[in-house]
Amino acid sequence: MRTPAGAEQPRANPDFRLTVEQASYVYAPNPSQAPLFTLEALSFQAKPGEIVAILGPNASGKSTLLKLISGALAPLSGRVFLNGFPTHSLAPKVRAQRIALVQQESPLLFPSRVWEFVLQGRHAYSRGLGFESAEDVTIAANALAQVGAGHLTDRWMDKISGGEKQRVILARALAQQPLMLLLDEPTLHLDIGAQVDLLESLRKLAAQNRYTVVVVTHELNLAGEYADQVVLLQKGKCLRVGTPANVYRRDLLEQVFQAPLSVEITTSGRPRVTLFSDK
Amino acid sequence: MRPLTLGRLLLRCGILAVILFVVVVIALKLGAVQVSLYGLGRDLIRVLLGHSSSISTDYGMIVVDIRLPRILLAIVVGASLSVAGASFQALLRNPLADPYVLGVSSGAAVGSILALLIENQLNLSPAFGGLFTPFGASLGAGAAIAAVYFLGRRDGRIDSSTLLLSGIIASSFLSAIVMFLMSTLSGGNLRGYSYWLMGSFSTLPPKSLLYLLGIGFLAAAAVIYTTASDLNLLLAGEKEAMHLGVDVGRVQLVVYIAASILTGLAVSVSGAIGYVGLLIPHAMRLIYGSDHRMLLPASALGGAIALVLADTAARTVVAPSEIQVGAVTAVIGAPFFIYLLRRGLT
């Protein structure tokens, strides 16, 4: 019996939007040599409205895992499903309608206005020569308003601050009207106030629009405070998946981050990590 | 928020088309033989009505048989080189990319010459013979840009200065090959090396080739235009474009082939005219912004205007003799290139 294309029997539980199922990846530029990096098979699932943090030190495989989730890479073994469909085999436009990725910003070659930038998020819905409709303009304006950046509409992208730019990039992702939002180190160049602002907006957006949010970060405390689930990676191995309170064990974190630290659980039930210097 | 609409696009292109028309009329009038505006208008209307045989005056013949085809050639070559330049700039994410600077035009020149040599061996009928050259030129252009692209890549990224250096080196290498071929071989239709390296409209190609040039330009430019909104996103980087829904590999391949064909067609009938593909897209970007849905047609019209003007200067400044049109564009283009380079470095 044949099944319709793409309708490969999803073993995924329909309650979950994102299902990572024994997914692994190997970077090997030359098959005869030892691989440069291996991400060992790992699994987790996420529901609509949930925030998942992928946490780990440098070179732990965070970005590789994000690429597998975004569909930019095909897993070597295992699968990554979004609503039951493997993310890697979605057509580019369909994928962009379902998955939005906020990357570390790349430099702009030619200057553009904030509104032009946000309208790029509507490209996945364009037809023909790609002239934007009134609906596209409304959606882009709403996206800017949702991240509190409506006042920036007519500004130039290269003349706004880092925090403002991060909001505009997020607005472009919202204009894609995705099911899942992926963020790669979104707090990297932000001061602490802007970091908290961004994660507060993410929490609000995830609740309002029922996005599944996956954030790659190495900010232990931000992840502990805002994530519903944490995926802890070290050298390509997934050490633990669970709620922050479950994952944030002192011995485990000390081993992963190679630093003495303490973990306390605050009254809100969220873990808080303090680093010591042991001179 | 004021996204580009079809109406605004057509209005702006209309204005450029009017400017082009005015420039063409001026170019028809200027030259070694003076032509009155009245005579010009009367003769043009006759041509448009299909009564070109009824033109009997000497200056009418000059205008219709010599100046008009030359101007049409300048229009198509200018449009082709500008659209190719804008495409290479988006494809390579480099604002300094241009068919001439990257050595693509020299590659097309080598391809043209080799095609002419093969053609001479084959003894084809003249009607088919001419069609061999643009084909060889397009292959040469494609091979040159592929070589420069791979030489300019470092650790999987295109490095701007490495790319330009690769282009300059490819360009001088290929120019040397042109010189070598020209001095060791001889053939009736090979033309001189200064034609291939500087470009000129002084020898008109056969009619069949002119038609092919026009049709080829329209087809290749139309294909590139279908990717205009993808090119906008590609400027932000391949990864970003992919995540915004661009089929990056397909767009790159299509634009690469079409832009190589445009360069090949232009070089096969006029030699390597420099800097048009650099200067015009930049000027249009300053006026209309960097949205390729506007930039590509504006560059086509702007390139046509620029080359008609440059060629008019080339044949009138030192009349009755003439200078090569590529010399005129280089005199204006090279300082502009240096300005862009300096601005980009600071």
pLDDT tens figures, A214-264:
999 888 899 999 999 999 999 999 999 999 999 999 889 988 888 888 888
Q: Which residue of A has its CA nearest to B288?
A: A112
- Rounded Cα distance between A179 and A16, Å, is 12
A41 touches chain B (CB under 8 A): no
Choose among A106, A124, A140: nearest Cβ to B245: A124
Residue A5 has pLDDT above 60, yes or no: no
B34 touches chain A (CB under 8 A): no
Residue B138 has pLDDT above 60, yes or no: yes
Question: Does the beta-carbon distance from A103 to B239 stay under 8 Å?
Answer: yes
pLDDT at A187: 83
B217-252 tens-digit pLDDT: 999 999 999 999 999 999 888 888 999 999 999 999
Question: Does the beta-carbon distance from A129 to B290 stay under 8 Å?
Answer: no
- Show residues of chain B in contact with A138, CB under 8 Å: none
Architecture of domain B69-345: Orthogonal Bundle (1.10)
Q: Sort strands A261-265 and A51-55 into parallel, antiparallel or unpaired.
A: unpaired
- Rounded Cα distance between A128 and B274, Å, is 33
Q: Cα angle at A237 between A231 and A243, to 5 degrees?
A: 20
Choose among A115, A120, A131: nearest Cβ to B233: A120
Choose among B226, B228, B245: nearest Cβ to A93: B245
Distance of CA B223 to the CA centre of its chain: 16
Question: Does the beta-carbon distance from B225 to A153 stay under 8 Å?
Answer: no
A155 touches chain B (CB under 8 A): no
- ipTM at complex level: 0.85
Torsion sign over Cα B271, B273, B274, B279: negative
Banded model confidence at residue B104, pLDDT cuts 50, 70, 90: very high
Question: Does the beta-carbon distance from A120 to B244 stay under 8 Å?
Answer: yes
**Distance in Å, alpha carbon of A25 to nearest chain B alpha carbon:** 19
Question: Does the beta-carbon distance from B290 to A112 stay under 8 Å?
Answer: yes
Banded model confidence at residue A6, pLDDT cuts 50, 70, 90: very low
Sequence ranges of the domains in chain A: 18-275
The answer to whether the beta carbons of residues B163 and B341 sit under 8 Å apart is no
Question: Does the beta-carbon distance from A106 to B236 stay under 8 Å?
Answer: yes
**Distance in Å, alpha carbon of A55 to nearest chain B alpha carbon:** 22
Chain A, residues 214-273, CB within 8 A of chain B, namely none
The answer to whether the beta carbons of residues A100 and A176 sit under 8 Å apart is yes
**A53-67, A112-126, B199-213: least confident range:** B199-213
Question: Does the beta-carbon distance from A106 to B240 stay under 8 Å?
Answer: yes
pLDDT at B3: 85
Scored b (16 or more CB within 10 A) or e, B1-21 reads: bebbeeeebeebeeebeeebe
Chain B, residues 242-261, CB within 8 A of chain A, namely 242-248
Residue B192: Cβ within 10 Å count = 11
Q: Cα angle at B318 between B312 and B322, to 5 degrees?
A: 65
- Show residues of chain B in contact with A95, CB under 8 Å: 243, 245
- Rounded Cα distance between B89 and B231, Å, is 10
**Amino acid present at B211:** Y
pLDDT at A186: 86
pLDDT at B110: 92
Q: Which residue of B has its CA nearest to A176?
A: B244
- Rounded Cα distance between A220 and A200, Å, is 16
**A36-40, A194-198, A267-271, B340-344: least confident range:** B340-344
Q: Which of A20, A57, A58 lies closest to A40 in space, CA to CA?
A: A20
Banded model confidence at residue B346, pLDDT cuts 50, 70, 90: very low
Question: Does the beta-carbon distance from B229 to A108 stay under 8 Å?
Answer: no
A69-110 tens-digit pLDDT: 999 999 999 999 999 899 999 999 999 999 999 987 666 777
A92 touches chain B (CB under 8 A): yes
Mean pLDDT of chain B: 86
Residue B58 has pLDDT above 80, yes or no: no
Question: Does the beta-carbon distance from B245 to A97 stay under 8 Å?
Answer: yes
Q: Where are the alpha helices (DSSP H) in chain A?
A: 62-70, 92-98, 114-119, 134-146, 162-175, 192-209, 220-226, 244-247, 250-257
Q: Encoding tokens for residue B306?
A: 């620029």
Question: Does the beta-carbon distance from B229 to A129 stay under 8 Å?
Answer: yes
Mutate to test the interface with B, among A68, A106, A153 (most CBs of B within 10 A): A106
Q: Count of A–B CB contacts within 8 Å?
A: 86
Beta bridge partners of residue A231, listed in sequence order: A54, A241
Residue B213: Cβ within 10 Å count = 22
**A4-13, B24-33, B166-175: least confident range:** A4-13
- Show residues of chain A in contact with B6, CB under 8 Å: 129, 131
A95 touches chain B (CB under 8 A): yes
Sequence ranges of the domains in chain B: 69-345
Question: Does the beta-carbon distance from A119 to B242 stay under 8 Å?
Answer: no
A34 touches chain B (CB under 8 A): no
Residue B174 has pLDDT above 60, yes or no: yes
Question: Does the beta-carbon distance from A130 to B228 stay under 8 Å?
Answer: yes
CATH superfamily of A18-275: P-loop containing nucleotide triphosphate hydrolases (3.40.50.300)
Q: Which residue of B has its CA nearest to A113?
A: B1
Question: Does the beta-carbon distance from A153 to B244 stay under 8 Å?
Answer: no
**A105-109, B169-173, B256-260: least confident range:** A105-109
The answer to whether the beta carbons of residues B175 and B167 sit under 8 Å apart is no
